[in-house]
Amino acid sequence: MLLTRYIPCLLLKGSGLVKTIKFKNPKYVGDPINTVRIFNEKEVDELIFLDIEATPQDREPNYKLLSEIADECFMPLAYGGGIRTLEQAKKIFQIGIEKIAINSAAHQNLKLIGEVAAIYGSQAVVGVIDVKKNFFGKLEVVSNSASDKHKQSPEEWAKELVKAGVGEIMITSVDKEGTWEGIDVAMVKRITDSVNVPVIAHGGAGSVDHLKDAVQNGGASAVAMGSMVVYQKKDFGVLINFPDKKILEKI
């Protein structure tokens, strides 16, 4: 297992996998079960699945699909999307998923994090922060597929999430997501300097150099990848893949 984690971050829409650009225009990229099988063969250390419709549609997670995914998955699995109550979180863990990722629900009920952490431990709760630049170039915390804005700065919200009980933060740049342009390393550094829990950098990774930048200059403990692991390269067709571990070990 690599010291730094490099994690495919896969987006669910209905029963299929999609990829977005800046959280918009989801394009179908494949079947989640087949994709998990490929990542099993590549001996990926961890997977993250995010349901991009659950919260906007105000519905619960798709437990049946998640159960099928968990049954196929050989590596630790995190899931986020539509988790609003402790009972829903319990169902996710009972399926065999090791971590839940909480984003929008924390803005409505921050106590949910502590309730889950009290039973399953902080390491089982990932606090997800989506960040977008406003008209003036200032970073704003957003949620609900970037449709809701929040008053806290990214650093302030990260600290609140850690105080509430999350064991890990995933910071996503909406402006970079799906662009292949590189991770917003300055944004990641602001978070890693603010909290003492592992930080997953997400949004914009398009090369191994981008991953290296997030780790060495952003202080990230892990990097989540989307486009990089579902496409051959930018503007090319779908190809489920993963960087050579020998190359990643040199980062």
Q: Does domain 5-248 have CATH number 3.20.20.70?
A: yes
Q: Residue 3 has what pLDDT?
A: 84
Q: Residue 1 has what pLDDT?
A: 46
Q: Which residue has the tokens 């991009």?
A: 52
Handedness of CA 96, 99, 104, 109 (dihedral sign): positive
Distance CA 151, CA 60 (A): 27
**Range 71-74 contact pairs with CB under 8 angstroms and sequence separation of 24 or more:** 71/96, 72/33, 72/36, 72/37, 72/40, 73/36, 73/40, 73/47, 74/40
Handedness of CA 81, 87, 91, 97 (dihedral sign): positive
Q: Which residue has the tokens 């977005």?
A: 20
Spatial neighbors of 48 by CB under 8 A, at least 6 apart, are: 7, 8, 9, 10, 77, 78, 79, 80, 101, 170, 224
- Tell me which residue of 148, 22, 5, 16 sits closest to 78, measured CA to CA: 5
Instruction: Name the residue ranges covered by the structural domains of the chain.
Output: 5-248
What are the pLDDT tens digits along the chain (251 aa)? 458 999 999 999 999 999 999 999 999 999 999 999 999 999 998 999 999 999 999 999 999 999 999 999 999 999 999 999 999 999 999 999 999 999 999 999 999 999 999 999 999 999 999 999 999 999 999 999 999 999 999 999 999 999 999 999 999 999 999 999 999 999 999 999 999 999 999 999 999 999 999 999 999 999 999 999 999 999 999 999 999 989 998 88
Question: What residues are labeled active site?
Answer: 130
